[in-house]
Structure 1
Amino acid sequence: MLRERLLPILQKYINRKDFKSYMLLEGSSKISFLAQGEYNLNYLLQTSRGEFVLRINTASQMNLDNQIAYEFQALKLLQNSGVTPRPFYLDDSKKAVPYGLLVMDFLPGEPLDYRKDLLLAASTFAKIHSLEFGEEETDFLVKSDRPFTAIYQEAASLLNKYFSCSRADKGIKGILEKALLKAEDKIKEEEYLLQEPWRVVINTEVNSHNFIVNRGYDICHLIDWEKPIWGEPAQDISMFLIATTTMWKRNYVLGPAEEKAFVNKYLESLPEHPSKVTLDTRIEMFKFFNYLRAISWCAMAWTEYTEPGRQLVNMDTFEKIKAYIEPSFIKRSLLK
């Protein structure tokens, strides 16, 4: 597997003089596999200065020319939040290692548990969404001025891969086509957002395992920043709450009382903003489009997972992908 083939290359890399000098390391360092995502590999780097995460991108979901640099720059932007990993090192040359890599904080803890950590997560979102930046600081970020249009276009592009796949189920294709037609009609709702735009750095991938909770210090970090954009905070909050997110790793669905408690804590933790009173409305509007994007991504990913030669295969993820494109699930989420 790729993660194993890279280990000897990375072991040599982290003990090079230039790397050790930049990271202020003494003696020899060790590296071991930690975790993987769909398009990244994460290794635990043990050094004289403590532990770090060495992260490698194998592809870009955002179709960026330099995915790892984008992620590094986003982490630099967010480092004063206190709830995101601090980045320390970037190598996007792809010379000594055939993929771009960065080094960031290793944050000990456990993935978020919706039964225990909802209010901590709400505070984490508030700390990130409270950060203020000059326009020049966020110029590099992908912008989402018309978020429903952007999500619809992304979903349509993802679904094209499913629609054109000879292995795809015809019945599921028909249901997804109906969902796209409904989305075309609902896009007009984004005019409400344009009347009073609310823009912050959002993560766009807020499933439970992208959070690390350290209960000893009563803090929750949002650690995976592969796809940040400059967009509506309600997009992240809505995505955090919907079933495609909560079921992804935890097989849990939030009840109305839990949703309300989470949103109330988030609002209490935010500084004053004129759009706070409209957050509930914005969240509800985003739910349909976040479901659409999640299900469309699963349809696209299904074509990749069933294609021979894929580099990264996570069978737990594949099982969830199949569940999310079941006709009953699509209808319940998008066509009710």
Structure 2
Amino acid sequence: MNSWQRNIETFAKEPALLQRIAELGYREALALGEEVREEYHFLARGEYNENFVFTHPDTGKKYVLRVNHGSQMQLERQISYEAHALKLLEASGRTPKLYYCREKSGEPGILVMDFLEGVALDYAKDLKIGSEILADIHGLPYNREEDIGKDKLYFAKDPLQEMLSESARLQRVYELSPFMEDSVYSRLHALWKKGVEEKERGEKLLRQEEFCIINTELNSGNFLINGEGKKNYLVDWEKPLYGHFAQDLGHFLSPTTTFWKTDYILSEKEIIDFLEHYQRCRGKELPALQEQTALFILYNCIRGLSWCAMAYTEYKKGRDLQNDDTFQKIKAYLQDPFLTKVEECCKKLF
């Protein structure tokens, strides 16, 4: 079986990709030559994207071909938005370098970026490295006034209200579905109302000068860890924003995040140690750091559970792109013991 035949097999469900990888612009951008000699292999699948890996036949360099199937942010140019963020983040040394991006009407958007080595972050031993990665990214200079064009980073001017509004919309999808359970919905909505109660106090904690480029999707699998003193990365920039740095910290430390891939829930000491090291890495005073982070842990719990309720509805309806492991985890989030642990965590914070 030659390379082209193997690619036909790899893209059997999306044969249009065979034409995309043969396009002149694609091949010139990556110096691949006119003939398709490289072989593509499936790498990973998310809720809205599929990733394939291939090796340059002449240089031996490995790349990732990312294929987009939808947008959490309801963007018309989702893959272009992600590509723009990667360009802005390149100077951090913590993200993949972008080589190619194209949106094509009626077909999935694609981009090509570095394949980076590393393993998923281990909450039990890699928290220090995680804080260093986030400190480097959050400390990256970004002048939003100079960021112009169609793919300019979205400004989370009022992040608390936006998270509450998004969560309300997600919960509404669940509430109106034939798969809604009253006991689950009432508990999710109670957490949402707690967020409403904390909003006014929380807004006073968020200073405009502390806004920066944030990832907003900090699952452990999005980190590529190689160890202390080595190169460590953060990948998957599907939903970057210009927002408050604590929104990222709250997402990273929230039980709705840590439990997703690892079944791990951080202790109070682990959270405090993480924040102390993060502040040292930033090299600046962050006087409201713990309060800001606690606020966003609550809000990320609300948003995470609301997303699970919406996704549960989509899966039950039979969405196009499905992952059984993801569906099983979604169901675990919407029942005990996990739901009780989240409620207890939020009570301790406030």
Q: Which residue of 1 aligns with 2:103?
A: 92
Match for residue 179 of structure 2 among 163, 167, 186: 167
Q: Unpaired segments of 5 or more residues in structure 2? A: 1-8
Q: Secondary structure at the match of 2:12?
A: helix
> Which 10-residue stretch deviates more, 228-237 or 167-176?
167-176
Instruction: Report how many residues are paired.
Output: 330
298-307 vs 3-12, which moves further: 3-12
Deviation, 1:216, is 8.5
Residue 40 (1) aligns with residue 49 (2): yes
Aligned mates of 2:228, 2:134 — CA distance in 1:
20
Q: CA offset at residue 257 of structure 1?
A: 2.3
Partner of 1:296: 306
Q: Does 1:10 align with 2:17?
A: yes
Alignment of 1:177-188 (within 5 A): 177-188=189-200
**Aligned partner (choices 38, 47, 61) of residue 29 of structure 1:** 38
In the other structure, the counterpart of 1:263 is: 275
Work out whether residues 21 and 27 of structure 2, in 8 Å CA contact, stay in contact via their aligned partners in 1.
Answer: yes
Q: Deviations over 1:195-229 (max 9, x none)?
A: 56510100000010111112386222110000001
- Identify the residue that residue 3 of structure 2 maps to in structure 1: none
Contact conserved, 2:128 with 2:277, CA < 8 A, in 1?
Answer: yes
Distance (whole Å) between structure 1 residues aligned to residue 197 and residue 269 of structure 2: 30
CA distance in 2, matches of 1:64, 1:112: 29
Distance (whole Å) between structure 2 residues aligned to residue 85 and residue 104 of structure 1: 6
Q: TM-score, with normalisation over the residues of structure 2?
A: 0.88
1:132 aligns with 2:141: yes
Q: Distance in 2 between matches of 1:289 and 1:317?
A: 22
Q: Distance in 2 between matches of 1:279 and 1:305?
A: 37
User: What SS does structure 1 have at the residue aligned with 2:312?
Assistant: helix
Q: Distance in 2 between matches of 1:3 and 1:163?
A: 39
Deviation, 1:55, is 0.3
For the 8 Å contact 2:10–2:41, the answer to whether it is kept is no
Amino acid in structure 2 at the alignment position of 1:182? K
SS in 2 for 1:185: helix
Q: Distance in 2 between matches of 1:70 and 1:3?
A: 26
Match of 1:286 in 2: 296
SS at match of 2:210: coil
Unaligned runs of 5+ in 1: none
* CA separation of 1:195 and 1:270: change in aligned 2, threshold 3 A: closer
Q: Does residue 19 of structure 1 match 2:31?
A: no
Distance 1:270 1:109 in 2: 24
Deviation at 1:146, TM superposition (A): 1.5
Q: After superposition, what is the alpha-carbon deviation per residue over 1:234-280, rounded to whole angstroms, capped at 9, x for unaligned?
A: 111111111111111011122222222221221111132x5x12111
Shift of 1:122: 0.7
CA deviation map 1:118-154 (0-9, x unaligned)? 1111110011001112223445111112211111000
Check the 8 A contact 1:69/1:92 in 2, yes or no.
yes
1:58-80 superposed Cα distances (whole Å, 9 cap, x missing partner)? 00000011100100000001000
The alpha-carbon deviation at position 320 of structure 1 amounts to: 1.3
Matched, 1:75 2:82: no
SS at match of 1:55: strand
CA distance in 1, matches of 2:101, 2:257: 30
Q: Does 1:227 align with 2:239?
A: yes
**CA distance in structure 1 between the aligned counterparts of 2:22 and 2:68, rounded to whole angstroms:** 21
> 1:120, 1:218 within 8 Å by CA — same for their partners in 2?
no
Whole-angstrom CA distance in 1 between matches of 2:157 and 2:340: 29
Are residue 122 (structure 1) and residue 131 (structure 2) matched?
A: yes
Alignment correspondent of 2:210: 198
Q: TM-score, length-normalised on structure 1?
A: 0.92
Q: 1:69 to 1:307 in 2, by over 3 A?
A: same
**Aligned pairs (5 A) from 1:143-154:** 143-154=155-166
Is this contact kept in 1: 2:11–2:18, CA < 8 A? no
How far has the Cα of 1:328 moved from its partner? 5.3
Distance across 2 between alignment mates of 1:217 and 1:24:
33
| Aligned with 1:55 (options 66, 74, 88) | 66
Cα gap change, 1:191/1:215 in structure 2, threshold over 3 Å: closer, same or farther?
closer
Question: Is the 1:146–1:190 contact (alpha carbons within 8 Å) kept by the matching residues of 2?
Answer: no
What does the per-residue CA deviation read over 1:30-67, in whole Å, with 9 as the maximum and x for residues that have no partner?
Answer: 11110011100000022133110010110000001110
Give the distance between the partners of 2:213 and 2:228, measured in 1 at CA.
Answer: 28
